[in-house]
Structure 1
């Protein structure tokens, strides 16, 4: 996801397009990855899986924002985001230094294609993500509606190094034992982490693991079948293109909110 400087009117007008929220939590996972949470205005509504513009106010009073998938579920009282750190990035070079109590701009208009309404009914939901493309899955994996619509939910997360497997404990154990969601999520959610540059129990690009059939063998599920499987994709442009082609080759049809299909992907931003 690239840093984007959005042309806007001075601050007094820009405030109409943004909520000003306070940072409540910051977690630095590695030298290149961090997460943060903010307060949430009661008027802010979104569907799990959507993204919103997030950023800071520049010295000249104009907003500097970029698109961020919301990592918290739609029912949560706070907003959570998962970000890369770009040393020379106009926004993330500053955003990575935020602390609890600082103010952050949150756009008023969430949007995006990674929502349940873009998919036809199915049996098994796959959420295939790379890097910070995990963010929308963190939202959807904590949304009860996902488990009401699907018998099985599979989250895959492909990263370069083991240290980049952030939120691993949440997806491996914490959600299944959650007091409120555990009974609903526990038997249905499967998490499949893969690493490309270090030794790990599952090593390789998710596209290669799909092509070889290893991912299906490891998880004990049948290969992709457009009759029962629904797929969401989020990550870098090259892997998105490859995953989309793999699905098209298997007879899957791309969907949208206007015309639900077998798979959806987020085209609004790319991860860099």
Structure 2
């Protein structure tokens, strides 16, 4: 789904600021990105999420947590989400237009950040659906392009219409501040419901299937290894659980506070 797995809510307006929606872009009927003004002094590390709130007609605040997709230096915040049928936040957000307001908590949260890795040459970013969001921000950070030699973004969706941000992703290697880092970016896209003809430009199948049969690494032109690869996984919890098991079988371990590892995960649900 579209939200980070958290039960936290905006209970106190003193913790948040009232911000204005500046734009809304619909990728599909239910998939969209939007931008809002950025709270004064708001700081985040690429890969982190923000807590957003909307008021109901009764004055109750309904909140959700969404990964920031914008670059650190931008003066607006961008988020990527799917409208969930009968979802309380989605029902409220679907009515909003540029000029309307929402609450943004003053702090950012989350530990799916590149600084969790102490070493490694290849950064793999595996995403399903709107799990792509944090990687859009991470890939706009010049420090990431300096830290790794090879950046591999894998995005798996149901149909090719859901492959969002393609123009931005294709343009990243041509941005001067990123290219100066020297890393090479590989984009691997996959669909699960298109037939083979419709998805001829993309891989066909789930990330876990493509990992197990070797198709994913063949398409990326490099293998996932304990020594060189660091992996970030964001999306459907079932995909994350299955992918984690595959990586563990290969000798990789998750990053812990006191123990360096080779992969980090974040559920979107």
TM-score w.r.t. the length of structure 2 is 0.91
Per-residue CA distance 1:26-68 (angstroms, 9 max, x = gap): 0011112011011112311110000121121222333211111
**Would the aligned equivalents of 2:10 and 2:105 in 1 still touch at CA under 8 Å?**
no
Match of 1:251 in 2: 251
Residue of structure 2 equivalent to 1:214: 215
Q: Which of 100, 121, 130 is equivalent to 1:102?
A: 100
Q: Which moved more, 1:103-112 or 1:76-85?
A: 103-112
Alignment partner of 1:237 is 2:237: yes
Alignment of 1:76-91 (within 5 A): 76-91=74-89
Match of 1:175 in 2: 172
1:196–1:225: structure 2 CA closer, same or farther, 3 Å change rule?
A: same
Q: Note the aligned Cα RMSD (angstroms).
A: 1.9
Q: Given the superposition, is the C-alpha separation of residues 192 and 233 from structure 1 closer, same or farther in structure 2, using an over 3 Å criterion?
A: same
Structure 1 stretches of 5 or more lacking a match?
A: none
State the secondary structure of the residue aligned to 1:16: helix
Q: CA deviation at 1:96?
A: 2.5
Per-residue CA deviations over 1:102-144 (Å, capped at 9, x if unaligned) read 1111112211121012222110000000000000000101111
TM-superposition CA deviations, 1:55-106 (whole Å, max 9, x none): 2122233321111111112222211000011131101122133211111111
User: How far apart are the structure 2 equivalents of 1:98 and 1:126?
Assistant: 35
2:112–2:265 Cα contact (<8 Å) kept: yes
Instruction: Evaluate the alpha carbon distance shift between residue 8 and residue 219 of structure 1 in structure 2; reply closer, same or farther with a 3 A threshold.
Output: closer
Matched, 1:69 2:70: no
Query: Deviation string for 1:167-224 (max 9, x for gaps)?
Result: 11211x221233x435237851111110000031311111111111111112211x21
Correspondence 1:113 to 2:111: yes
Q: Which residue of 2 aligns with 1:16?
A: 14
TM-score relative to the length of structure 1? 0.90
**Paired residues, number:** 262
Report which stretch shifted further, 184-193 or 150-159: 184-193
Matched, 1:184 2:177: no
1:258 Cα deviation from its structure 2 partner: 4.7
Cα distance in 2 for partners of 1:264, 1:197 equals 27
Please, which runs of 5 or more residues in structure 2 have no aligned partner?
none
Evaluate the alpha carbon distance shift between residue 250 and residue 63 of structure 1 in structure 2; reply closer, same or farther with a 3 A threshold: same
